[in-house]
């Protein structure tokens, strides 16, 4: 029998396949003043980055512009060797948990293409395009 | 002095950075009969692949669907370590040469983002989205 005190301290290792969530920080910008209010994209990135901390396989990254612009906030999922999805109309007040759920679904899907039932609402309605891995 | 006969036979090597042009072969499909007429996407892929033969740095590849569907024929440029572009409304009767020109412009651009003046008409009007490289 092993008591709790026999167990060395460990860091929980996240062994899920990795995935990057890109977030457009130009989306919803209302001011060009660097000290002005944060854009909706910046707010989403900030909230998502904090919420993603316990999920070591999910990396977040700011993007200047996806060249979409009419469907803010635009984000993208990208994982090694898998299809990438560009998705618009995400909402920092509504979609943070669902974006994390979807990121994990992309990471776990063999080709990065989650089944429809694994796609939260924002993913089912927001897809702008997808692109295959190069190899 | 070296005469022509001293020069060993060589194959012209294309040293430009590589780029893949993905083409949606579902775009413009009018029949589900495998012996039915080719889709506009299949026609574009066929013409582009033949036209790209002298350009060893340009690879073409069929894609089932970019999830765009309203702007056929959809294609994408993808190169190692560079931004990828998804572009709609391309025309197999009009754009083959321009797609090759644009593919080389993407391959040559430091981040895969060609200057505006290097973008043929289809590229200036057709961008659906772009996505950064993961690393």
A3-42 pLDDT per residue, tens: 444 544 444 556 889 999 999 999 999 988 888 999 999 9
In this predicted structure, what is the pLDDT of residue B32?
86
Report the share of chain A in percent with pLDDT over 70: 89
pLDDT one-digit tens code per residue, A36-63: 999 999 999 999 999 999 999 999 999 9
Across residues A97-117, what is the average pLDDT?
A: 96
In this predicted structure, what is the pLDDT of residue B122?
98
Interface A–B counts its CB contacts (< 8 A) at: 57
Residue B78 touches chain A, beta carbons under 8 Å: yes
CB contact under 8 A, A63 and B134: no
In this predicted structure, what is the pLDDT of residue A7?
47
- The pair of structure tokens assigned to A36 is 């002005």
Q: Give the Å distances, CA to CA, from A35 to A32, A39, A123.
A: 8, 11, 32
C-alpha span between A114 and A118 (Å, rounded): 6
Residue B76 touches chain A, beta carbons under 8 Å: yes
C-alpha span between B43 and A109 (Å, rounded): 31
Tell me how close the Cα of B2 comes to any Cα of chain A, in angstroms: 43
pLDDT tier at B7 (50, 70, 90 boundaries)?
very low
Report B:31-60 residues touching A (Cβ under 8 A).
none
Residue B66 touches chain A, beta carbons under 8 Å: yes
Across residues B10-24, what is the average pLDDT?
A: 80
**Residue B52: which residues within 8 A CB-CB, separation 6 or more?**
B21, B58, B59, B60, B100, B103
pLDDT one-digit tens code per residue, B20-67: 999 999 999 998 888 899 999 999 999 999 999 999 999 999 999 999
Mean pLDDT of chain B: 90
Residue A134 touches chain B, beta carbons under 8 Å: yes
**Residue B65: which residues within 8 A CB-CB, separation 6 or more?**
A130, B24, B26
C-alpha span between B99 and B105 (Å, rounded): 10
| Closest chain B residue to A24, measured at CA | B131
pLDDT tier at B69 (50, 70, 90 boundaries)?
confident
0.90 exceeded by pTM: no
CB contact under 8 A, B129 and A74: yes
In this predicted structure, what is the pLDDT of residue B5?
46
Report the share of chain B in percent with pLDDT over 70: 89
pLDDT one-digit tens code per residue, B119-130: 999 999 999 999
With H, G, I as helix, E, B as strand and everything else as coil, classify residue B21. strand
Domain A13-131 of CATH type 3.40.630.10: no
């Amino acid at each position: 029998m092993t008591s709790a005190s026999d167990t060395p301290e460990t860091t929980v290792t996240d062994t899920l396949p990795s995935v990057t969530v890109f977030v457009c920080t130009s989306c919803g910008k209302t001011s060009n003043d660097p000290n002005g209010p944060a854009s909706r994209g910046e707010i989403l990135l900030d909230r998502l980055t904090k919420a993603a901390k316990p999920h070591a396989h999910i990396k977040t990254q700011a993007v200047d512009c996806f060249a979409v612009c009419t469907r803010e906030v635009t984000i993208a999922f990208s994982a090694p060797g898998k299809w990438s999805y560009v998705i618009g109309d995400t909402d920092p007040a509504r979609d943070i948990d669902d974006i994390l759920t979807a990121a994990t679904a992309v990471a776990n899907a063999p080709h990065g293409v989650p089944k429809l039932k694994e796609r939260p609402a924002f993913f089912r309605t927001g897809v702008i395009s997808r692109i295959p891995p190069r190899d």
